[in-house]
Amino acid sequence: MPGIEYQDDSSLPDTTVLWRRVHPKWIVEDKSPQGYRLSTAAFDDDPEGGPTSVIIADDVIRAGGSHADALAGHPEHVGCPPFLGPPRSSVLGGL
């Protein structure tokens, strides 16, 4: 959102599992063994150019939920496979 300065939350380790809803139009065909990939457009959701929205999986699980809860109300979407790794460098722009 414009006017908001986002800060890296250092309490979250790099191994934090993040979930994200994916619209089917963001899945594109390629020549990989599985035959598809996620478009980079799937990780750029803010109309004003802000950071990408994700759900912290542990928060959902601790509350007794599951990945299905992240998709609740969005039947046309699919769940992005558990996405962890280096979000700080690849998604958050190297915060």
Q: Minimum distance between the CB of residue 73 and other proteins, rounded to whole angstroms? A: 8
Residue 9's contacts (CB-CB under 8 Å, 6 or more residues apart) are none
Residue 41 found at the interface with other proteins (CB under 8 A): yes
- Cα separations in angstroms, 27 against 20, 35, 90: 13, 10, 19
C-alpha 86/C-alpha 6 separation (Å) is 17
Judge whether 77 and 27 are in contact, CB under 8 Å.
no
Which listed residue (56, 77, 85, 92) binds other proteins by CB under 8 A? 77
Considering only the stretches 5-13, 31-39, 56-64, 80-88, report the one whose residues sit in contact with other proteins under the rule CB under 8 A. Answer: 31-39
**Chain contacts with other proteins (rule: CB under 8 A):** 21, 23, 25-26, 28-31, 37, 39-41, 44-47, 49, 53, 73-74, 77
